[in-house]
């Protein structure tokens, strides 16, 4: 299983650097560091997709009854070292759906940011494509403000009632 993770990571990193080297973007001297930012964003997007895939597959396999939550997968006791891997409890289906929605909105924001950085590298700054990317990023940010975890960001209380919008995402959506 660990070999599978390592292989996926190596394939992802090589694909990202292969794409970064194969695209012949003319980098302005002031924006030459953006190539590294695009590569880093590609790695983060890849790892986020893998994490989303494992989260969904873990919960779906648990709902199908293929394993028991709280089951101990392995336990190692050597000398003074002890380690145990136990499966966490399953998420409620509504919580899982909100987690997936939050992960997808985060991925959407990262994709928009990566595309914008690539446009900057190609000296395509004031174009209609960037306006569409900004509009799409605003939609993703508004969606992320709804699907964010309750513990994240600023929540406010007006006249005793709570607002469950993450105000940080809403402020960023207004600024975009």
**Residue 1, in any domain of the structure:** no
85-112 pLDDT, tens per residue?
A: 677 777 788 878 878 888 899 899 999 9
29-76 pLDDT, tens per residue?
A: 566 788 888 889 999 999 999 988 888 888 888 888 777 777 776 677
**Residue 40, in any domain of the structure:** yes
5-20 pLDDT, tens per residue?
A: 555 556 555 655 554 4
Strand partners, 129: none
- Radius of gyration over every alpha carbon of the chain, rounded to an integer in angstroms: 21
Mean pLDDT of 111-137: 89
Confidence band, pLDDT 50/70/90 cuts, at residue 157: very low
**Residue 57, in any domain of the structure:** yes
Helix and strand element counts for the chain (H, E): 5, 4
51: Cβ contacts below 8 Å, ≥ 6 apart: 103
More confident residue, 160 or 96: 96
Strand partners, 157: 162
* Cβ-based burial of 139 (10 A; exposed 0-12, middle 13-18, buried ≥19): middle
Among residues 27, 29, 36, which one has the least CA distance to residue 119?
27
More confident residue, 57 or 161: 57
Whose tokens are 């990571």? That residue is 9
The whole domain housing 53 covers 31-175
**Residue 25, in any domain of the structure:** no
> Are 144 and 123 a contacting pair, CB within 8 Å?
no
Extract the tokens encoding 83.
């380690």
**Residue 14, in any domain of the structure:** no
**Residue 18, in any domain of the structure:** no
- Say what the pTM is: 0.67
- For the cut 60, the answer to whether the pLDDT of residue 131 exceeds it is yes
Tell me the three state secondary structure of residue 73.
Answer: strand
Supply the pLDDT for residue 108: 92
**Residue 119, in any domain of the structure:** yes
**Residue 67, in any domain of the structure:** yes
Extract the tokens encoding 117.
């950085």
Q: Count structural domains, the chain.
A: 1
Supply the pLDDT for residue 30: 66
Strand partners, 77: 82
């Amino acid at each position: 299983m660990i070999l599978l993770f390592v292989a996926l990571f190596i394939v992802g990193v090589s694909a990202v650097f292969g794409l970064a080297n194969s695209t012949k973007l003319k980098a302005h001297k002031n924006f030459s560091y953006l190539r590294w930012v695009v590569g880093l964003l590609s790695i983060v997007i890849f790892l986020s997709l893998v994490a989303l895939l494992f989260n969904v597959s873990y919960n779906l396999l648990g709902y199908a009854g293929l394993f028991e939550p709280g089951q101990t997968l392995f336990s190692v006791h050597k000398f003074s070292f002890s380690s145990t891997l136990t499966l966490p409890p399953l998420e409620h289906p509504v919580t899982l759906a909100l987690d997936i929605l939050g992960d997808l909105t985060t991925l959407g924001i990262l994709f928009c940011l990566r595309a914008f950085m690539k446009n900057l590298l190609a000296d395509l700054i004031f174009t209609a494509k960037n306006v569409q990317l900004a509009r799409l990023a605003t939609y993703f940010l508004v969606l992320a403000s709804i699907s964010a975890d309750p513990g994240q960001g600023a929540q406010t209380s007006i006249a005793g009632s709570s607002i469950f919008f993450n105000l940080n995402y809403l402020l960023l959506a207004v600024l975009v």
